[in-house]
Amino acid sequence: MHRSLLLTGLTLICLPFFSLASQNTKGYQWPIDTERKLQISSTFAESRIDHFHNGVDIPGSGLKVRPVHSGRVVWMTQARSLPGELPFGGGKTILVEHGDTWSGYMHLSDIEPQIYKNSMVKDSESLGISGNTGHSGGAHLHFFIFQPEKNIMYNPLLILDEKYYTDNKQPEILEYAAAIDDQSSIFKAEKEILLSQDFPILAKILDRGVSSERWGVYSLKISRSNRTLVRTFDKLQYKDGYWRDNNGDSFEDVYFKNYLILGTGFRENPDFSLQASGLRGPGLEKNINLKIKRK
């Protein structure tokens, strides 16, 4: 299934860039009310093994969470999951409506007592305290920007005016692999690899911030003599039963578990150039020649 779906991504050449949620997202602030510089721990559209991460994670417990903009509370729960297509396992969650766009705050340890459904909140007010409720493996705020009418999750880092994180390292290619049925077979770029078929080639690429952060990349470009693949994670739209990226590709078209799918045809054309970057910081650009031999 991976291989047939792949083709939709590979035929894409032109780039649909930067379509922000709407004009009224101007002036959106960082959702943590702090002077302290915080790193983010996860980026938008990273792989979560079988689905896209649909927001940004800011680590830490006991941090004051504020709405990114003034608005109206449209959903608030202490329950374990949300209905519909919104992410499950959010723990204590608040959704705030700002015109046609919503912002969401999950895994809170406490919600302020004056916050209730339909209450109006100012951007200076506190919504609650960051924590570890729901499906969460460590205290953090999972934060997202959603447009319910179009079923679009936007990359919050494109929308917020303030960006309190530092990225001065370029992404790294950790390893390559071939997707052989349901397995990934890891190989080194400089070593020969024997393949009996034209299996899809994968790469584990992580962006670093200031040390060893494990962020997903924001954009990827694979240039080959006969085709080009471009991905940018501006938004994810729920369409025909799947969350899809700018190219209309679903998770399985984009990732094989934690690997980005580079495509097929590398047995014929092993030369390519790879560009990968985060939203900030230096990008990576590399010419690569894979030593794939036919078995």
**Interface positions with Zn ion (CB under 5 A):** 57, 142
Question: Closer CB to Zn ion, residue 6 or residue 106?
Answer: 106
- Give min distance, CB of 156 to Zn ion, in A: 11
Secondary structure of 205-220 as H, E, C letters: EEECCCCCCCECCCEE
Is 22 or 132 the residue whose CB approaches Zn ion more closely?
Answer: 132
| For Zn ion, the closer CB: 228 or 258 | 258
State the minimum distance, in angstroms, from the CB of residue 175 to Zn ion: 24
Q: How far is the CB of 55 from Zn ion (least distance, A)?
A: 5
Dihedral pair phi/psi, residue 97, rounded to 5° = -95, 130
Is 288 in contact with 272 (CB distance < 8 Å)?
yes
Compute the least distance from the CB of residue 133 to Zn ion, in Å. Answer: 13
At residue 3, what are phi and psi to the nearest 5 degrees?
-70, -40
**In the complex, residue closest to Zn ion by CB:** 142
Closest contact distance (angstroms) between CB of 233 and Zn ion is 14
- Name the residue nearer to Zn ion (CB basis): 40 or 111: 40
- Determine which helix (DSSP H) or strand (DSSP E) holds 221, and give its type and residue range: strand 219-223
The rounded distance, in Å, linking the Cα atoms of 9 and 254 is 8
The helix/strand/coil state of 288 is: strand
Token look-up 């584990």 returns: 204
Contact 163, 190 (CB under 8 A): no
Distance CA 102, CA 147 (A): 6
Our CB check for Zn ion shows the closer of 142 and 244 to be 142
In the complex, minimum distance from the CB of residue 9 to Zn ion, in angstroms, rounded to a whole number: 24
φ and ψ of 9, to 5 deg: -75, -35
Nearer to Zn ion, 21 or 40 (CB): 40
